[in-house]
Structures are given as C-alpha cells and as structure tokens.
Chain A
C-alpha cells in the first residue's frame, strides 16, 4: 500500500490561511496558485477546507472552489459549511471528488453521512474530526476547534464508519499549526478502531514528524500544510525522504 500525501489548504476566502491552534490566521496565498503548486510538486490529493464557513454560518463559496480545482488532475476533497445532500451535489459540480463534513454531522445530523453515502458512494464522504485531548479521552470539537460536542472521538469514528463514511481525517486541536509533531496515540487508536482509510493531520513541523506518524500509527494518508506553506519542505523532498526510510509512496 502506498501512503498518500495530501496537501491541505485551509481557506478563509478569498485566501488560503494557516491557523495556529485553530486561531491567529496568517495569510498564505491564493487557492488556485497553491493548489497548482502542490499538484506540480507531486501531491496525491488536494484538500480544501473553508475553515470559517460553519462558524460564520454562511453559504459555501463555490467560485473559489472551482478556481482552486481547475488545473489539477488528482483528487480534490472539499469541505467547510456542508449542511445538506444538495451541498454535496453542488460541490461535486464545482469540481470536488470528495466532500468533507464535520460540524453539521456532529452537532445536528449524523444521518447526513448515510444519506450522502447512499447517493454518492462511501468513497466520496469524508468525515473530519477535530479532536481535543482531555486526561484520558479525546472530545470532538466543531466550528474550527471552538465548540465542544461532548462526543468521544473513538465512539464517533465507529459511528461514522457504520453510517457509511469512506474516510476519516483526524485533526488535533492541540497540535494543529504548532509544528511540534502529530498526536500519534490519537491517530493510532483511530486507525485500530475502524476499517476505512484514516488521514493523519495536524502537527507536521519537520520530515521526521511525518515519518514518525506513518511508522507508529500506520495511517492511510498524511495531510500536510505548514511544512509546505513555510517552505520547510516540498512534496517531492518529502516523498524522497519517506522512500529512503522504507515508506512506499506514489512517485
């Protein structure tokens, strides 16, 4: 199995930003330029999340999504503010191949996962998790790491798998944007809990962090953003490094 490397773009339209700890946004660049840059570098997928859509409770901005996806010939996953099966449909018509959902499913309507999976297939439904670590458990957060849900991450991932999700992205509210390594224990436990692909996100600050999470937690994919945005590495360099250390990746 080849481990996928996903370039993750956090959008506060019209810009891609980088939140630290899910707050303190820094402007990085334009979505279409960054998507194309990371595509050319060899990304296996691009993931675009409008990180303020849920928080502001506003409509998804389709125009920016169409622009970001126009020059890339790899899967394009899109999320942020998705509330209905119609939203899924509109996103696919704007160029998305997968739709990422979190807030609405956690807070209001877990069944949206099964409805969307029935219509578009499991492979098109990605559930994003914002996990906050407490003493001996992880809690699902929503609205870009701001709102508590009371749900236990390890119970929620099992539930979304049963509902028909095709993939789970595990973000860590504590690690995101800090560049100090992944929450390996969290990702490992999620990988062991479910049989669908798991994407490790949040925390990569150097090449070794990414190797570490792949070796120890065995996710299906790793999502990176800060290390690319701040020119710490390119996807080409990352893939060469991983290959050198025995991790199979697509060229």
Chain B
C-alpha cells in the first residue's frame, strides 16, 4: 500500500525544508505538492505555513490549489501546522478578513494575553480527547511560534496555557488534524507525532 506524504508548497511557506527533513526522519516518503494534479497523487497531506492568513489564501487561489485542497483535506489524513492549521478554519482576521478552507468551524484571531506575543518557546499540551495523532505525547512539550490562534469549541483535542490564557493547540475533525505548534522543531516528541501521523489509517 502506498503511503506518500505530500507537503504543500504554496509559495509562502519558508519552513518546508525543516518539515520535510523531520518527516523523512520519522520514516515518511515525502513529495512536494505545488498544484492540484500533484495533490491527486499523494495519500496524506501536510499543510505547512509561515506568514499571514490573507497572503496564504491569495497564494492558494493563484496556484489553483484552493478548490483541490477543500476536497482532499477531508478525505485524506491531513495535518496543518501553525498557519497551515489556521487556514483550515472558516475565517481569518490577519491583515483583513479572509475566507479559509472551512474544515473547522471557527475563526483565527490574535493571541491576547498577559504575556509577550508572539508566544515563542516550548510549552506543554493538555490532551482532552485521545486521538492516534497524540498517542504517547500527553506529557510532552512542543515548540510554539505564533501570534494568532484558532478559536473553536467543538473539535479541540488539546489546549495549552500561556500567561493566564488558554488556547487551542490541537484540533481534529474526521481525517483532518491541525497543530498550532511546530512538530518539526520539537525534538523527539515532534518526530513521534510525525510517526503517529504516518501510521494514521487511510479511508
């Protein structure tokens, strides 16, 4: 059975080399996906992303990946990382209001708390609902590097506390997963999360 992981390159993601390297270390076969035809060929999808919500959506429109992603991310195991998680929500408010891929019923808002923003550094996750993605990772710390968060109440699988503020650090609905932290920057815990992702069963 083929198990090819496609890392989506939509122009704004600068961290593709780090993500690819960590996925390969975790044992994945990885290919870079830049258009709809390439997306057809992969079994699993990783949506990376650094930069802003609005720029990301513009790039996805331009490359024609928007429509294809909306279809594929719900039928193939998909992992959104940081901005890649955020654009799976319905709507974002970074540099103006823009429509997301709409898998998660929620919006993306700035982190407002009593600490410094961006939230930067290792922090714990508090797993609420056991999912295969977070198996064995209940007490681990992961690296966060973000100024925005997904506001959602129905699909939360993990929360994180930061300076008196609690936000969604992992989310799941059907085949689609999102993590606000960076597994590729979280030492062995991150590699283990990628192993769990690679082992997820397909439809």
Chain A contacts with B in 137-190, Cβ cutoff 8 A:
166-167
Most interface-central of B21, B116, B186, B191 (chain A CB within 10 A): B116
Q: How many residues of B contact A (CB 8 A)?
A: 38
The answer to whether B120 touches A167 (Cβ under 8 A) is yes
For B147, the closest partner residue in chain A by CB is A122
Report A-chain residues with C-beta under 8 Å of the C-beta of B143. Answer: 44, 74-75
The interface-forming segment of B10-18, B61-69, B73-81, B99-107 is B10-18
Interchain nearest-CB distance for B102 vs A (Å):
22
- What sequence of 0s and 1s flags, for each residue 110-127 of chain B, a beta carbon within 8 Å of any chain A beta carbon? 000001111011110000
In Å, the complex CA distance between A2 and B120 comes to 10
- Count the A-B residue pairs with Cβ separation under 8 angstroms: how many? 104
- What sequence of 0s and 1s flags, for each residue 68-80 of chain A, a beta carbon within 8 Å of any chain B beta carbon? 0110011110000
In Å, the complex CA distance between A140 and B14 comes to 30
Asked if A196 lies at the interface with its beta carbon under 8 angstroms from chain B, I say yes
Chain B contacts with A in 30-86, Cβ cutoff 8 A:
50-52, 55, 83
Report B-chain residues with C-beta under 8 Å of the C-beta of A221. Answer: 120-121
The answer to whether A167 touches B141 (Cβ under 8 A) is no
The one of B14, B83, B95, B116 that contacts A89, using a Cβ cutoff of 8 Å? B14
The answer to whether B118 touches A166 (Cβ under 8 A) is yes
For B187, the closest partner residue in chain A by CB is A73
Asked if A109 lies at the interface with its beta carbon under 8 angstroms from chain B, I say no
The interface-forming segment of A18-26, A52-60, A92-100 is A92-100
Asked if B1 lies at the interface with its beta carbon under 8 angstroms from chain A, I say no
The answer to whether B118 touches A122 (Cβ under 8 A) is yes
Asked if A118 lies at the interface with its beta carbon under 8 angstroms from chain B, I say yes
The answer to whether B22 touches A73 (Cβ under 8 A) is yes
Interchain nearest-CB distance for A200 vs B (Å):
13
The answer to whether B50 touches A124 (Cβ under 8 A) is yes
In Å, the complex CA distance between A73 and B185 comes to 5
In Å, the complex CA distance between A2 and B144 comes to 12
The one of B21, B83, B122 that contacts A44, using a Cβ cutoff of 8 Å? B122
In Å, the complex CA distance between A124 and B184 comes to 15
Report B-chain residues with C-beta under 8 Å of the C-beta of A95. Answer: 17-18, 21
In Å, the complex CA distance between A166 and B118 comes to 6
The answer to whether B83 touches A121 (Cβ under 8 A) is yes
For B16, the closest partner residue in chain A by CB is A93
In Å, the complex CA distance between A44 and B52 comes to 25
Q: Contacts A1-B163, A73-B185: A92 and B14 contacting too (C-beta < 8 A)?
A: yes
Q: Contacts A74-B185, A250-B141: A121 and B15 contacting too (C-beta < 8 A)?
A: no
Report A-chain residues with C-beta under 8 Å of the C-beta of B187. Answer: 73-74
The one of A69, A70, A93, A123 that contacts B147, using a Cβ cutoff of 8 Å? A123
Asked if B145 lies at the interface with its beta carbon under 8 angstroms from chain A, I say yes
- What sequence of 0s and 1s flags, for each residue 182-202 of chain B, a beta carbon within 8 Å of any chain A beta carbon? 101111101100000000000
Asked if A195 lies at the interface with its beta carbon under 8 angstroms from chain B, I say yes
Most interface-central of B51, B83, B146, B184 (chain A CB within 10 A): B51
Q: Contacts A121-B147, A123-B118, A123-B146: A73 and B14 contacting too (C-beta < 8 A)?
A: no
Residues of A within 8 A of B (CB): 1-2, 4, 44, 69-70, 73-76, 88-89, 92-98, 118-124, 166-167, 195-198, 220-221, 250-251
14 pairs of residues in contact across A and B, judged by CB atoms under 8 Å: A69-B18, A70-B21, A73-B25, A74-B185, A74-B187, A93-B16, A95-B21, A97-B182, A120-B14, A123-B118, A166-B120, A196-B117, A198-B116, A250-B121
List 3 tightest A-B contacts by C-beta distance, closest first. A92-B14, A250-B122, A123-B118
Not counting A4-B120, A196-B118, a sample of 18 additional A-B residue pairs whose C-beta atoms are within 8 angstroms of each other reads A1-B115, A1-B163, A2-B141, A74-B185, A92-B15, A94-B17, A95-B21, A97-B182, A121-B52, A122-B147, A123-B147, A124-B14, A197-B120, A198-B116, A220-B116, A250-B121, A250-B122, A251-B141
